[in-house]
Chain A
């Protein structure tokens, strides 16, 4: 398997623009997680899905952030409008719940810079 695939790897945009980050989880995994990493706050869990359904979005910083998972092989994290403080590396991770253990497989991340 190719692992968790994220796109774009790098994104530079201007304040106020819409940003869409994409994630393809590992086939067969039924959990999908979005994390944000910054120097100041470390790795923060934003939201996670189980079988395409959002389970907990309490980590989403504000209404400007939204995430969807229209099917088992695709998820998006959208920021509209973007702000400079949204600059971070956004990671997507997936996991297979059948093991009951919860090893997370991470993508390589999307580095977002908002000017």
Chain B
């Protein structure tokens, strides 16, 4: 199983860029890297997904180096509402990935004024 390692917590201020890095040394060839956001009393919500290089959508960017052993979620100009737990997920059942879709421990991001 892919073991992902993330910082347990991070603090930031409104308007700053936040980068959360995840290590996944045993990522398999067919695995994708997906990030989810979870608020208290809610299920995780998809943020962004990538396989290699850089992916950007309307809420975040995902940077993946060539060896794919780590990835960085970048949240531009965070606000108080971005306070949540962020999970890095490595796997891809649907494409025959080598790792199941098991979540790591997540990173608690706290954004302050």
Contacts and interface: CB of A to CB of B under 8 A. Distances in A.
Interface of A: 4, 31, 33, 35, 42-45, 48, 55-56, 59, 91, 93, 95, 97, 99-109
Nearest to B44: A106
B95 interface: yes
Interface in B14-57: 32, 34, 36, 41-46, 49
Contacts, number: 65
A115 to B, nearest CB: 21
B64 to A, nearest CB: 15
25 contacts: A35-B103, A42-B103, A42-B106, A43-B87, A45-B101, A48-B93, A48-B101, A56-B100, A93-B43, A97-B94, A100-B95, A101-B94, A102-B34, A102-B94, A102-B95, A102-B101, A103-B46, A103-B49, A104-B36, A104-B44, A106-B44, A106-B45, A108-B41, A109-B41, A109-B43
Interface of B: 32, 34, 36, 41-46, 49, 87, 91-95, 100-106
A48 B91 CA distance: 14
Contact of A43 (B42, B44, B46): B44
